[in-house]
Amino acid sequence: MNSLHDMGGMHGFGPVEAELNEPPFHQPWEGRVLAMQRAMGFTRLWTIDAGRASMEALPPLQYLGSSYYERWFLGLEHRLLQRGLVEADELAAGHALHPPAPLPRRLTPDDVPKTLVRGNFERPATAVARFKPGDRVRTRNINPPTHTRLPRYARGKQGVVEAVRGCHVFPDTAAIDAGENPQWLYAVVFSGRELWGEDTDPSLKVSIEAFEPYLEPA
């Protein structure tokens, strides 16, 4: 989806401003949003990719005008409504008004340590890897209206495969409930000049982690 979340290479956002001794959360509600997000993610009702997609689908001005945890909250609310877990009258009332939907599983305090370890998205290979380190590749020029992890700045560009990461859940299908559809994942490195033109600092190299369907031989 070509939305504002895909920010690589944009101009005009100003300098990076770091905050000294920044706390993990600036307001208690931010921690609650993070925790609700983790707890509802644990239910397996949706994939991590669908979670990202729901934030990318926010209207552009809302995406830019919201703080990070505000976006998470809006994305979570959207998913809960979309999947019928919560209804609009309940949000308005601030209380449950309808019976709950069944959950595949529910996060208890005993299971919290499991949510503090990142999930493993590698899956058994269903085919032989098409590329190997050193291969020259070109990224495809794709513009799906749905979730993808190929950033716009790296589409239609020539690069070199640097590493093979294994076969992983394919976000483009997992985000739209079309299955894990595991695909080989590669580190692909590009020169700054390939991405940004001949005037670019020659010392710059950028790599992305690219799924095999994003690539063709070059």
Partner 1 sequence: MPADDHHPHDHSHGSELSDLQLRVRALETILTEKGYVEPAALDDIVEAFETRIGPHIGARIVAKAWADPAFKQALLADATKAANALGHQSPVGSHLIAVENTPTRHNLVVCTLCSCYPWEVLGLPPVWYKSAPYRSRAVIDPRGVLADFGVALPPDTEIRVWDSTAETRFLVVPMRPAGTEGWSDERLAELVTRDSMIGTGLPKTADEAGR
In the bound complex, what is the minimum distance in angstroms from residue 108's beta carbon to partner 1?
A: 6
**Nearer of residues 22 and 198 to partner 1, judged by Cβ:** 22
In the bound complex, what is the minimum distance in angstroms from residue 93's beta carbon to partner 1?
A: 8
Closest CA to 154 of 178, 190, 107: 190
Q: What angle do CA 150, 152, 155 make, to 5 degrees?
A: 70
- Residues 172, 150: Cα–Cα separation, whole Å: 9
DSSP state letters, 14-59: ------TT--S-SSHHHHHHHHHHHHHHHTTSS-HHHHHHHHHTS-
**Nearer of residues 47 and 135 to partner 1, judged by Cβ:** 47
In the bound complex, what is the minimum distance in angstroms from residue 122's beta carbon to partner 1?
A: 6
Which strands sit side by side in the sheet containing 183-191, from one edge to the other? 183-191, 158-168, 136-139, 215-217
**Nearer of residues 161 and 208 to partner 1, judged by Cβ:** 208
In the bound complex, what is the minimum distance in angstroms from residue 109's beta carbon to partner 1?
A: 5
**Nearer of residues 101 and 142 to partner 1, judged by Cβ:** 101
